[in-house]
Chain A
């Protein structure tokens, strides 16, 4: 393993990232680069090292970025330091992707040789262009039987506007093309600029928490130099910190004397709590403070909300504890206490998107062993009341009295949808169903179309991805960014069981969707609540107005046919089990609702 013989001069440093659609092989390529450059010994090597969380490995996505410094010796004996900056690989984390890109001069744009260019590839490419990065296209997975590199070259040409002949053909899995990729990084990606003599400005692109050292800032030094002992300040904070240690992000942290302009590394400054820093903030020198911060900070804004309840009320404390732990490393996750008559104590949580929600839910269940019930995801509405106040409402429980509401707004997105040309009809139909505002079509190549569509965020929260895949026979993909708030006709739909409101099932929806949504809930609830020996009315209501109704008929017979001497024990055991089951049900009025009914209603995504 080559050891650094002194620091690598800045002109032989390359800062790059890998951008790719989910599952196009980013982590595998990163592993190969690390192995090839000896950044990690065989013993230490684990498959897909960068995705250190189990969950990430399983889902094949990177949620928390990890970055690593590689030493690469070219054929002519020159030593290069290649800083690979990891990026999260999904639309929900697009802001984190941006921060990673801001720390680089170049990007490997990975395209699956069988799947071709996808919506996210395009979106990521646009962002890379925005930051003026040198983009090196890599066609990966050329070993696959379905690989069609020539078609992918065409797409790279027509849909991304990149020179298809500059694309490197590779199979990260088989280790093919790795030398060519390293060559391209060295020759095509420029060395970082920046003046070591200028006042210090370093972008915090990520942070880790170390039990012994506190917060470890991952930084890209843009200007100036950071040394141990320097007195620094975070631009958004007002506390001075002494730099305890700076270093490179090898597999383990490797201390160095100085991080100069252009360098990527870490800094430990005695900060104890991760809440005290903000990713995207700028580190400056207290003695010679730079005047402007680096662009990069944006308050993480949750856009998708869901109520999270433990299935067993005993688990509430554990849930609170678990959310606390998760939010330490995930500032985008928000949560606040909430009570439901039907479900007990829980939390209203905010997420960056549906995937973020999914990831948090799985981590709570897997790492903390919790069984959870999540309410249907919703967005944050703005509601103006007659008294001139503007309320942000993402929880139906806090929806103001409709009598005093002046108007409401909901968030809109711009979705970029890449589909085969033959699917335009069904996709437009799907979009219209989803309250499409405007759309624009770009014919990218002979077979592929990009639809840029503006529609409410709420409309993609329910099964949009699945429906898109269905109507495009698996070929469609989409990405989105939140645009703005626009006027909407909002109503609160309540679900009543024998006249009693089930608070956990109330929801805010667009007027047009109220009836089908209410009916869907009523029908699923009617299927999931067992018959009682009286009739049960399940209704959807807006205020006092009933808009949907189903009934569960009274059980007119619930007695086993024959019951003689030999049947008593079996019969009693059955009744005991049923009585036990009843205990675990939630009581709404005189109706017993099994937990499974809430799961059935909340989990499945309404067709409307």
Chain B
């Protein structure tokens, strides 16, 4: 493995001890899967018969987009998400990361992450070692369940018995960061069965990060259509909230501390270095179909064309494949910052917030903060104008409601920060 800044070399956040970096992130969307899971509403297409040819076209276009967007961004994380990045051919990650560094979009030796399906690791015993050789730092594994019947219900390609094999191969290859994804709240799931799965997941060798999401049924997906026909696919919402609390409790008992509503790590240095940028308004650039970007200096969000062919065509014409942009007004930006920060245990620094949006906003909500505190939804440390508002577990569970309750009227008609 080549030289890369290790976790201890990052300056820890003075208040949280988390390895903080305000360097931007680079997201690479890989829009292919071998098959589409019935709950998925991401921009993905089945790879199909001519898979290697399509992957090749994709890589070409991706490298072109990196050239088109060349700029001194200096991202310290490069995250391959999807889709199924683990389908990518040998040498893909190294090649793309090098191109990103060359274009200035990524800093030298960034932290490289990818999302992977367990079956790919099972079918190819050398895959994990190859990724390690390509300087992949972290792998997020789409386990989704450890229960065989839930895996079948979710339309996953791997079997429960294969999970340990997949995880072990990552650990043996020396991948430092191994994250496991879980989807809970499928119909019929009980707190007891969820607890069993969580305990088993926490005990997997080398896993130091877990993401646990409640199943949400999106319109336009096979699950969406089945639900519209009256099928019950997910637990009732009140049971879902019981399961949410079960997830937090069980993972905490098993050494995984929540740092975001759906994310847990065994230690602060294993928090997701890339994803935390989304929650703390750090700049990021997304490349590949449908990828989103955020440019805080301009207060701008923009995103790419969603369809592969559409995106590819734009890139090959030599155009940036951006399809839409929006410039955030102070009100919108403050609202985003609120609901994103309140999802994290680090919470909201009131001093910083009032520096950006004015003291009036914070002052207008002092009573509300006190009310939340009294109800055990937040902890308030320091001064009520400059201290920190940190959601408790109950607070994380209702983070969206907290953001809705906050009074941002002072910003409503302001156009410039």
Give 13 A-B contacts (CB < 8 Å), ordered by A residue.
Answer: A533-B375, A533-B398, A533-B401, A555-B401, A556-B242, A557-B245, A559-B399, A563-B278, A564-B278, A568-B294, A575-B339, A576-B335, A579-B404
A interface footprint on B284-297 (CB within 8 Å = 1, 0 otherwise): 10100011111000
Interface contact B275-A559, CB-CB below 8 Å: no
- Asked if A560 is at the interface of the complex by the 8 Å CB criterion, the answer is yes
Q: Which of A559, A566, A572 contacts B303 (CB 8 A)?
A: A566
- Asked if B326 is at the interface of the complex by the 8 Å CB criterion, the answer is yes
Residue of A nearest to B213 (CB): A561
Interface contact B294-A565, CB-CB below 8 Å: yes
A interface footprint on B301-344 (CB within 8 Å = 1, 0 otherwise): 10100000000000000000000001000001001100110010
Chain B residue numbers with a CB within 8 Å of A562 are 211, 213, 262
Interface contact A568-B401, CB-CB below 8 Å: no
B interface footprint on A163-176 (CB within 8 Å = 1, 0 otherwise): 00000000000000
Max chain A CB contacts within 10 Å: which of B292, B396, B398? B398
- Asked if A188 is at the interface of the complex by the 8 Å CB criterion, the answer is no
- Asked if B186 is at the interface of the complex by the 8 Å CB criterion, the answer is no
- Asked if B45 is at the interface of the complex by the 8 Å CB criterion, the answer is no
Interface contact B292-A565, CB-CB below 8 Å: yes
Residue of B nearest to A579 (CB): B404
CA A571 to CA B400, docked complex, whole Å: 9
- Asked if B27 is at the interface of the complex by the 8 Å CB criterion, the answer is yes
Interface contact A556-B245, CB-CB below 8 Å: yes
Interface contact A558-B399, CB-CB below 8 Å: yes
Chain B residue numbers with a CB within 8 Å of A556 are 238, 241-242, 244-245, 394, 397-398
Interface contact B284-A553, CB-CB below 8 Å: no
- Asked if A603 is at the interface of the complex by the 8 Å CB criterion, the answer is no
Residue of A nearest to B409 (CB): A583
- Asked if A582 is at the interface of the complex by the 8 Å CB criterion, the answer is yes
- Asked if A126 is at the interface of the complex by the 8 Å CB criterion, the answer is no
Q: How far is the CB of B80 from chain A (nearest CB, A)?
A: 13
- Asked if B167 is at the interface of the complex by the 8 Å CB criterion, the answer is no
B contacts, CB < 8 Å to A: 27, 211, 213-216, 237-238, 240-242, 244-245, 261-262, 275, 278-279, 284, 286, 290-294, 301, 303, 326, 332, 335-336, 339-340, 343, 375, 377, 394, 396-404, 408
Interface contact B377-A533, CB-CB below 8 Å: yes
Chain B residue numbers with a CB within 8 Å of A45 are none
Q: Which 7 pairs show the lowest CB-CB distances between chains A and B? A: A557-B241, A556-B241, A561-B213, A558-B401, A566-B292, A559-B399, A558-B398
Residue of B nearest to A562 (CB): B213
Interface contact B398-A565, CB-CB below 8 Å: no
Interface contact A569-B214, CB-CB below 8 Å: no
Q: How far is the CB of B394 from chain A (nearest CB, A)?
A: 8
Chain A residue numbers with a CB within 8 Å of B245 are 556-557
Interface contact A557-B240, CB-CB below 8 Å: yes
Max chain A CB contacts within 10 Å: which of B216, B242, B339? B339
Q: Which of B335, B397, B398, B402 contacts A572 (CB 8 A)?
A: B335
Max chain B CB contacts within 10 Å: which of A557, A560, A566? A557
Interface contact A568-B261, CB-CB below 8 Å: no
Chain A residue numbers with a CB within 8 Å of B242 are 556
Q: How far is the CB of A101 from chain B (nearest CB, A)?
A: 57
Given A534-B375, A558-B398, A566-B303, A553 contacting B238 (CB threshold 8 A): yes
Chain A residue numbers with a CB within 8 Å of B403 are 575
B interface footprint on A455-476 (CB within 8 Å = 1, 0 otherwise): 0000000000000000000000
Residue of B nearest to A576 (CB): B335
Interface contact A557-B397, CB-CB below 8 Å: yes
CA A575 to CA B245, docked complex, whole Å: 23
- Asked if A75 is at the interface of the complex by the 8 Å CB criterion, the answer is no
- Asked if A578 is at the interface of the complex by the 8 Å CB criterion, the answer is yes
Interface contact B332-A559, CB-CB below 8 Å: no
Chain A residue numbers with a CB within 8 Å of B279 are 563
A contacts, CB < 8 Å to B: 532-534, 553, 555-566, 568-569, 571-572, 575-576, 578-579, 582
Chain B residue numbers with a CB within 8 Å of A582 are 404
The secondary structure that dominates the A interface is loop
CA A237 to CA B301, docked complex, whole Å: 75
CA A444 to CA B329, docked complex, whole Å: 76
Interface contact B400-A560, CB-CB below 8 Å: yes
Interface contact B336-A572, CB-CB below 8 Å: yes
Q: Which of B238, B261, B399, B404 contacts A578 (CB 8 A)?
A: B404
Chain B residue numbers with a CB within 8 Å of A572 are 332, 335-336, 339
Residue of B nearest to A530 (CB): B401
Known interface pairs A568-B294, A572-B339, A575-B339; 4 further A-B residue pairs with C-beta atoms within 8 A, sorted by A's residue number: A558-B400, A558-B401, A559-B398, A566-B290
Interface contact B397-A565, CB-CB below 8 Å: no
Chain A residue numbers with a CB within 8 Å of B211 are 562
CA A532 to CA B402, docked complex, whole Å: 10
Interface contact A569-B326, CB-CB below 8 Å: yes
Interface contact A565-B261, CB-CB below 8 Å: no
Q: Which of A534, A565, A576 contacts B278 (CB 8 A)?
A: A565
CA A14 to CA B286, docked complex, whole Å: 88
CA A557 to CA B394, docked complex, whole Å: 8
Chain B residue numbers with a CB within 8 Å of A553 are 238
Residue of B nearest to A590 (CB): B371
Chain B residue numbers with a CB within 8 Å of A558 are 397-401
Chain A residue numbers with a CB within 8 Å of B336 are 568, 572
Chain B residue numbers with a CB within 8 Å of A561 are 213-216, 262
Q: How far is the CB of A90 from chain B (nearest CB, A)?
A: 43
Residue of A nearest to B245 (CB): A556
Interface contact B278-A559, CB-CB below 8 Å: no
Chain B residue numbers with a CB within 8 Å of A578 are 404
CA A532 to CA B401, docked complex, whole Å: 8
CA A579 to CA B402, docked complex, whole Å: 11
Chain A residue numbers with a CB within 8 Å of B404 are 575, 578-579, 582
CA A575 to CA B339, docked complex, whole Å: 9
Given A557-B241, A562-B213, A575-B339, A568 contacting B292 (CB threshold 8 A): yes
CA A563 to CA B340, docked complex, whole Å: 8
Residue of B nearest to A571 (CB): B339
Interface contact B335-A575, CB-CB below 8 Å: yes
Chain B residue numbers with a CB within 8 Å of A532 are 401
Residue of B nearest to A563 (CB): B343
Q: How far is the CB of A178 from chain B (nearest CB, A)?
A: 56
Q: How far is the CB of B136 from chain A (nearest CB, A)?
A: 19
Chain B residue numbers with a CB within 8 Å of A559 are 261, 343, 396-400
Interface contact B284-A565, CB-CB below 8 Å: yes
Interface contact A565-B27, CB-CB below 8 Å: yes
Q: How far is the CB of B25 from chain A (nearest CB, A)?
A: 8
Chain A residue numbers with a CB within 8 Å of B399 are 558-559
Chain B residue numbers with a CB within 8 Å of A563 are 261-262, 278-279, 340, 343
Q: How far is the CB of A582 from chain B (nearest CB, A)?
A: 7
CA A556 to CA B247, docked complex, whole Å: 14
CA A372 to CA B288, docked complex, whole Å: 51
Q: How far is the CB of B366 from chain A (nearest CB, A)?
A: 16
Chain A residue numbers with a CB within 8 Å of B278 are 563-565, 568
Residue of B nearest to A572 (CB): B336
Chain A residue numbers with a CB within 8 Å of B216 are 560-561
Chain B residue numbers with a CB within 8 Å of A579 are 335, 404, 408
CA A559 to CA B214, docked complex, whole Å: 10
Interface contact B244-A557, CB-CB below 8 Å: yes
Residue of A nearest to B242 (CB): A556
